[in-house]
């Protein structure tokens, strides 16, 4: 069964450093998403991406964040200058459609720890 994959599974970085989180969405999906979950809190939407551009983003997704689909398979989230409060689990998700039946399938996540 196709699944979303993410690398790395864990990332430890120093405050102020740049990190890139990588995702390979399900191959025939067209919509891609990043969510995050701070420990003990709810899953929060960051950004959605369709047709090589951002289609929706949240207030969390400020200028420190960027997304890219550098090739036909990878989807990346870059945090330019990490802060302590960026420590969270980051989930990539993908869906075939964005309509009412557009089910989003989540990858296993990258646990980011900013020291």
Partner 1 sequence: QKEVEQNSGPLSVPEGAIASLNCTYSDRGSQSFFWYRQYSGKSPELIMFIYSNGDKEDGRFTAQLNKASQYVSLLIRDSQPSDSATYLCAVKVFGNEKLTFGTGTRLTIIP
* Sites of contact with partner 1 (CB under 8 A): 31, 33, 35, 41-45, 48, 50, 55-56, 58, 89, 91, 98, 100-109
What Å distances lie between residue 8 and 12, 43, 51, 52, CA to CA?
A: 10, 19, 25, 23
Instruction: Give whichever of 14 and 59 is closer to partner 1, judged by the CB atom.
Output: 59
**How far apart (Å, rounded) are the C-alpha atoms in residues 113 and 86?**
8
Instruction: Give whichever of 37 and 76 is closer to partner 1, judged by the CB atom.
Output: 37
Min dist. Cβ of residue 62 to partner 1 (A): 16
Nearest to 50 by CA among 9, 14, 5, 95: 95
Min dist. Cβ of residue 39 to partner 1 (A): 10
**How far apart (Å, rounded) are the C-alpha atoms in residues 84 and 27?**
34
CA angle 104, 110, 115 (to 5 degrees): 140
Instruction: Give whichever of 6 and 82 is closer to partner 1, judged by the CB atom.
Output: 6
Min dist. Cβ of residue 102 to partner 1 (A): 7
Min dist. Cβ of residue 81 to partner 1 (A): 25
Instruction: Give whichever of 20 and 30 is closer to partner 1, judged by the CB atom.
Output: 30
Please answer whether residues 110 and 21 qualify as being in contact, where contact means their C-beta atoms are separated by less than 8 angstroms: yes
């Amino acid at each position: 069964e196709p699944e979303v994959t993410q690398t790395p599974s864990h990332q430890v970085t120093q405050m102020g450093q740049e990190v890139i989180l990588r995702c390979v969405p399900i191959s025939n999906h067209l919509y891609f998403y990043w969510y995050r979950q701070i420990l003990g809190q709810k899953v929060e939407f960051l950004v959605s991406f369709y047709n090589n551009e951002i289609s929706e983003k949240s207030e969390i997704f400020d200028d420190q964040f960027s997304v890219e689909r550098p090739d036909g398979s990878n989807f990346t989230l870059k945090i330019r200058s990490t802060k302590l409060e960026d420590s969270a689990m980051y989930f990539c998700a993908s869906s075939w459609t964005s309509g009412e039946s557009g089910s989003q399938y989540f990858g296993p996540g990258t646990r980011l720890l900013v020291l």
